[in-house]
Structures are given as C-alpha cells and as structure tokens.
Structure 1
C-alpha cells in the first residue's frame, strides 16, 4: 500500500534529501507537498495533515543571534502542528527530528527536547503514533555554510577562496545525510513508535581531521582534477559533499593539459587513487546521451573529438548549466551527485567521448535515475 508522506521543512537540508529520496520510488511513496506558509494558515495546515499517513516534522530554526528566538520559534511550530493534529483527529505516524544537543545547556537543545515531549504527550492523549528521533550532527551535500554544519562551512570556504578556521578542535559524532534519510525511511516502513529513538552516528572525527581531508581534496581534486584515494564510506560521502560546493558555472569545463610533438598529442584524462570503469563512446550528430543522475557515483565526461553540449541541472531546481566542449581543446566536466546530466553531439561529425565512473555498472544496484535535464 502506497504511503502518503508529508515533510515539514521539505525545502531544508535534511528535508530536501528525504523528499528527493522518497521521489525515487513513486510506486511506494506519495509525497504530500508542504509550504512554510501553512504554519500561518490553520486551514492550509489542516488540509496538509489530513492527507498524510506519515508526517516527518523537520521544520526548525538552528541559528539566530538571539537564542530566545530559536526557542520560541521551534516550540511554536510544534504547538501549531499538535493543534492541527488534534483538530483533524489525525492518526498519522509523526516522526520528530530532535537533536543530540537535547542534554546540552542551550536553548536550541531545550527547544528540541520540549518539542519532542509535546508531541509525545499528543500521541498519548490522542492514541496517536509518534517517534522522537535523537539525531547526531548531520553533514552532506547542499547544507548551508555557517548554518547546518561545520563541514558545509569548510567546504564552501575551500572552494571559494577563503580559509577555514577551527574554533574548537573536538571530536564530533557525525552521520551522512543519505544515511540519516535511510534511517528515517526505515522508521516509516517499520512504523515503530518510540518516544525516544537514538539514531546512531556512523563516524567519529576530530574537526581538524575532517579539515585535513577536505584540504587534501582541494589540493588534489579542486586544483588539479585528481580523484583522491577514498578508503571508507565516510571518505566517499565527505568527498561527494565537497564536490557539491563548487561554483559549477565558473569551474567547468576544465581544460586538459595537452602535450604535442611531431607524432600528435597526448592528454591525461584522469589521475586517481580510486578504481572504477573507463569507457569510450562515439555519438552521431544530433544525438543526446544521458538524462540521468546518481546519488553516490563520481563521474567524468571528457570530450576528445567533435563538438558537445553538456548540461547539468540539480533535480529539484530549474537552473540548467550549459557547457560547450570541443575536441581540439580537450576538456572535462564532472557530474555532482543529485544533478541530472546529458551530453549532446552539436557538431557535424561523430563525437568522441571518454567516460569515467568510480563504480563498474551493476544492474542490481545501478544508482542511475532517469530524469530529463
């Protein structure tokens, strides 16, 4: 049976990842769209709540100069949601995103704890379904720098000519946003009701260790196009996070260094500390390849002959990035995760392209989702 799922804060960091991941299985999940303005219009909020089998409450404020504003905002959102649940007699399974900061002496943590208790009280009184998720520090693509995570801040600064600064070199328990999304979906599927469900972190790292990895990615990959050695799931997730902070429009296409002599020309397409699959294709004039995206794979398109248009679009946006490449000026474009992409032969001769991807194709787990750019 298809589950109808609504996400408050669906345009936020975790919310957008959850929303997009649920969209990969339209036969299993129906997403009920939410807008922040619903909180200010009880009739619209009620209409949203009535449609949902599951509500994942992620909407919250993380940072503000005045901590009282954070506390009041987060509690107010929970109260508005519980009021709507009561008015509509909802039997939806409500999952609440709390934080490992619950036990810390700050108003953000206090707001999350009190919000969780308010929803738990609603569930007891209304015989409702509730899961209070205690979530560790989350990192991943598209987080806001200076807001969602120190990882986002470091990635942004390193790719925009700024120097990251460590305020407190402590050990941090982290979970990748894609891993967290799978935990949330797991709770949706099992329909477990737990007033307190602690989501386990997947790595522990000192802040300085994370920065050292990111600085290495900048030196090898951002500056020189070399894919670094990635020896763990954390490394791959951190690298894919880093790649999403590039100013894509101005970074690509990257011209190769071409060595010529009387025999012809030599170009190194990719240097890497990781395996994968390298392939070669020809494309006749007017034909487009691709129109798909990946959620974990690293991929490079390198044009070596002919004329090509490579297009990229982040799947939940309308902005399309166009890159024109020619074989007489060999260049490449790398595909960030969650960006649908294609390549079209716009010339009058066959287009020759080299493709590299970090995983050989596995039909049982292709990580390839077809969406028109």
Structure 2
C-alpha cells in the first residue's frame, strides 16, 4: 500500500510516519512545504490512501488561512481527480471549524470541499475535527499551550496564563495515531459526518500548569507522578520530551557511612519507593521489623544472606542471595530481618518498600535477628 502524507514534516505528520514505519508500512510518500511541488502529481497518481495533514494555523497574514487550508486542499483533490484516483482521504480538521473566525472558516471550507469531492467521485473521505493535540515533537511557542508550557518550564522560562479556569479538551498524539491507522483498515470511529479520536481528556489550564510544575519538582524530590491517571501519564511523557539535552540526568542523595550507602531512587504517591543499598564486605544491615510496611530485596551484585526471625520465635530463617541469580526476597511484616554481605566485594541490593518513608511514622522497630 502506498500512503501519501501531506504535512509530513509537521507535528502529526512526523509522529504518524514514524508509527507507520513501526507497523511495517514502508511505501510512504512524504509531501511537505520543502518537497518539490512536481512530485505531488506523481504521488496523487500512485497513492492508495491519503493522510491530508497539511495546513496553516499561525500565519503572518490571515489571508494565508484560506490559501493554506482551502487552497492546497483544492489542489490536492484536483490532482487526484486528474488521475481518476478515488482512494480514501483522511483530513485533519479542527473543532475550530465550528467557529466564526478566520482559522475556523478556512478549516470549514476545506471540509466542505472534501464532502463535495466525495459526492462527485464516490471517494471515501474521513474528516476528523480534532481538539488540541499534545505530545512529543510539537512546536513550542507556536500553536500549542501544552508544548509551550512544557518547553518553558523544562528550560526554566516563564509562562503566561491569562485564565487558569479555561477548560481544555485535548487528545494525545499516540491516541490520534492509533485512530488514524485504524482508518487504514476501515475501522475509523465515525459519528454521523465526522470522525473522532475516542479518548478525549478534559482539564483546566490551571491543572495542566500545576501538573507540569510538579513534574519539574519531581526530579528534585526523587518522585514520579501517579501513572494510574492516563492524562498525567501522557503529559509526563510529553514533558520529558522537552528536557534540555544537557539536563537528562539529575543527582540523587547518597547516604554514606563506613558500612556502605543507601540511596532513594524513586518515590511514588501510591506504589511506595525504590532504593539502592550498597553493603561493604562483612557488613550486616537491618535488624528491625515492621507492623505494616513490607519490602522486596533483590541482590544484583555480590553475594550475601538475608536472615529472618518472627519476633515471638527463636527460629532463624536464612535465604542466601547472589547477583549471579536474580531472585526477589519478600520481607514479611512481623519478622525482624537483616542482610549480610558474605563476599569480598560490595553487595548491591535493590530495595522496594510499599510506602514512602515517613520520619514521623517510620514503622521500623529495632530488634536483633
């Protein structure tokens, strides 16, 4: 299948082409402002499906709206008609087409043109009135508030919010891609005359800003946001894509002493925390128990033993562990426990706890095993 993508260098176009290739579509005809215009004739003759994503949304002059959103659509359709190519066409329109402004008027004109073309030729047309789209590779300080906020916050630049109570309707780029590629197999989500991306997120501008600032703070706090919230998960991925290339890494606080070190790696609001424990040869750490807190230990380097004793028993239980055999050891409540390095090199243990450490309520009670 030969797939023509107009607007191939734009935000949606770049993402779509990357995902089409991921899904083994190899014959992709890319058309953008930089493409030799004579290739449009060739592409329109060969195409088996058209993703018409080209458009204008931030021109220098408002007259460019109609030229870019109506004029090029007209040229595209006329070229397809010239070759009697009635392949399906999917166009990315906008919910602004419902509004009486220069951008909306130009998008509505493009839609009407496509519907008339369908009546005239019998070609299948799919018109997607999309709300605001967010995700990686969207140009900041252009036409996306989310892209601008993510970029500016990540780069330590100010942002301007006129009304934090403005309600936004947003679709995530990956959800858009899934829907568009479904349309290749006649599985589009259509409601009456228009097609829709099934998953739409509704949130205020102020809530978006608060989330983005919390993402920046999370690196300092060694935390990650609540990934069970789908919008938060998608926005966090978007934010990370705007990090300055010299700031991908960030430091952790290592608590060191003669026994080794203990470093908190990740804290979460609902899944506890992960830490890295390094024990010097011959060192024993622990000798405490918990009422409710539970942990998992995974030795990834070195060798040692984890000992348990139920607090009302004299019986000692031993689990010998090694980085040569990846094995998770649960630390049940009500058992005092310790971990000893039996090797002659540092022993590295990944430790998960079901709750973030709270110094006001540590739930940790000293007792020798």
| TM-score, normalization by structure 2 | 0.69
Structure 2 distance, partners of 1:4, 1:277, is 49
Report whether the alignment pairs 1:156 with 2:154.
no
Partner of 2:213: 215
Matches within 5 A, 1:1-373: 3-26=1-24, 29-37=25-33, 41-42=37-38, 44-169=39-164, 170-190=166-186, 195-200=193-198, 202-221=200-219, 223-248=220-245, 250-273=246-269, 275=271
Q: Check whether the contact 1:38–1:45 (CA below 8 A) recurs between aligned residues.
A: no
User: Deviation of residue 128 (structure 1)?
Assistant: 1.5
Change (3 A) 1:23 1:276: farther
Count of residue pairs the alignment pairs up: 282
The DSSP-based 3-state class of the residue aligned with 2:5 is strand
User: Deviation of residue 270 (structure 1)?
Assistant: 2.3
Structure 2 distance, partners of 1:159, 1:205, is 21
Q: Which residues of structure 1 form unaligned runs of 5+?
A: 281-303, 306-351, 357-373
User: What per-residue deviation string (whole Å, max 9, x for no partner) do you get for residues 162-206 of structure 1?
Assistant: 122112331111111111111112222116687432445521111
Change (3 A) 1:86 1:160: same
Structure 2 distance, partners of 1:276, 1:92, is 53
Structure 2 distance, partners of 1:277, 1:93, is 50
Structure 2 distance, partners of 1:59, 1:276, is 46
Q: Check whether the contact 1:93–1:128 (CA below 8 A) recurs between aligned residues.
A: yes
Structure 2 distance, partners of 1:72, 1:168, is 32
| TM-score, normalization by structure 1 | 0.68
Change (3 A) 1:62 1:49: same
Structure 2 distance, partners of 1:15, 1:279, is 41
Partner of 2:322: none
User: Deviation of residue 32 (structure 1)?
Assistant: 1.4
The DSSP-based 3-state class of the residue aligned with 2:160 is coil
Change (3 A) 1:232 1:48: same
Q: Give the aligned CA root-mean-square deviation in angstroms.
A: 3.0
Change (3 A) 1:191 1:267: closer
Structure 1 distance, partners of 2:45, 2:349, is 51
User: Deviation of residue 159 (structure 1)?
Assistant: 0.6
Q: Which residues of structure 2 form unaligned runs of 5+?
A: 277-299, 302-347, 353-369
Name which of structure 1's ranges 163-172 and 91-100 shifts more when overlaid on structure 2: 163-172
- Higher radius of gyration, 1 or 2: 2
Q: Check whether the contact 1:95–1:133 (CA below 8 A) recurs between aligned residues.
A: yes
